[in-house]
Structure 1
Amino acid sequence: MPDLLIAPRHTAHLDRAVEALRLVHEHDRYPLTWPDDPHAWLTPEGALGAWVALADGVLVGHVMLVDGKLVEHADRLAEAAGVSLTGLAGISRLFVTPAARGTGVASALLERVEDAPTRRGRRLALDVVDDGGPAVRLYERLGWTRVTDGPATWTTPAGTRPHTAAYLSPR
């Protein structure tokens, strides 16, 4: 992998982030449904910050920190962490382009979020579709603790509620 830079996401990165997201969607079906407005999907209400991974200037990854109440199973996560909902911050919109997989990009993005000033005083949490896929394996390899699981509050294009798992960060 060329030199990797993790940088705060700026408006100028959004078009390239959408291009990277499209590659991920076509390869992995993440997100399951392509958003009507991908720029808005990458800039949701409740966002606390976002970062991009640039390999020799090419955007190869993205991660966002959101208000913890936006994470699936937030009540159970807060209880397990011993904090209120305002004491959580959620990992969201984490993706790495197919060509950059296996090079440490996702780990570097998660590390950057763990050190983010907007995270201070909050426990990191996340939810993921519980399909036993690469994302689940990544979080577990990095020491995230699975707290709970259950049906999502959202539906797939087929109208089903996928099974999701919720995790707390190791630190």
Structure 2
Amino acid sequence: MPALMIAPRHDAHLDRVADALRLVHENDRYPMVWPDDPIAWLTPDGTLGAWVALADGEIVGHVMIVEGGKVEYAAELAEAAKVPVTGLAGVSRLFVTPAARGTGVATTLLERVEDLPPRRGRRLVLDVVDDGGPAVRLYERLGWTRVTAGPASWTDPSGARPRSAAYLSPR
């Protein structure tokens, strides 16, 4: 894979980020429910910052940080971190295109957001579908601590509430 560059996401990136997200959705069903407006899904209220991973100018990954209250089980995460919910920042919309999998893109994106200004002074947290899949394995391999798990607040295409797990960053 060509050299990887992580850059702040700009509005000019959004159509290409949505195209990359569609590839991920078609390959992995992430997000489980394709949004009516992918650009709006990528730019929710409470966004603190977003970044793209580029290889030869092609978007191969994405991550964003949101206010801590936007994460599933925010109260439990805040209690475990011994901070108020406002002391949390949630990792969100992390994905890597199928062609770039296994090349360290997700790890690089996570490492980058750990030290960026929107996160400073806040403990990073995240929620993930608790299916034992690659995302869960990545977070656990990187030292994220599982705090709790249970039904998600949202429903999948069948109307069921998938199991969601909430994690604290290792630092």
> Which TM-score band applies after superposition, normalised by the shorter structure?
over 0.9
**Cα distance in 1, alignment partners of residues 112 and 61 from structure 2:** 12
Question: How much has 1:19 moved relative to structure 2?
Answer: 0.4
Distance 1:19 1:64 in 2: 17
Deviation per CA, 1:27-73: give whole Å up to 9, x if none.
Answer: 00000011000000000000000000000111000000000001000
Q: Which residue of 2 aligns with 1:11?
A: 11
Residue matched to 2:120: 120
Instruction: Tell me how far 1:157 sits from its aligned partner.
Output: 1.2
Q: 1:2 aligned to 2:12?
A: no
Match of residue 156 from structure 2: 156
Question: SS of the counterpart of 2:83?
Answer: coil
Unaligned runs of 5+ residues in structure 2 are none
| Equivalent pairs, count | 171
| 1:88-144 Cα deviation digits (max 9, x unpaired) | 000000000000000000001001110110111100000000000000000000000
Q: Give the percent of matched residue pairs that are identical in Structure 1 and Structure 2.
A: 78
> Aligned letter for 2:168?
L
Counterpart for residue 82 of structure 1: 82
Query: How big is the alpha-carbon RMSD for the aligned residues of Structure 1 and Structure 2?
Result: 0.4
Distance 1:56 1:4 in 2: 8
Where does residue 102 of structure 1 map in the other structure?
102
Runs of at least 5 residues in structure 1 that lack an aligned partner in the other structure: none
Residues 3-31 of structure 1, C-alpha deviations (whole Å, 9 max, x = no match):
10000000111011000000000000000
CA distance in 1, matches of 2:4, 2:91: 20
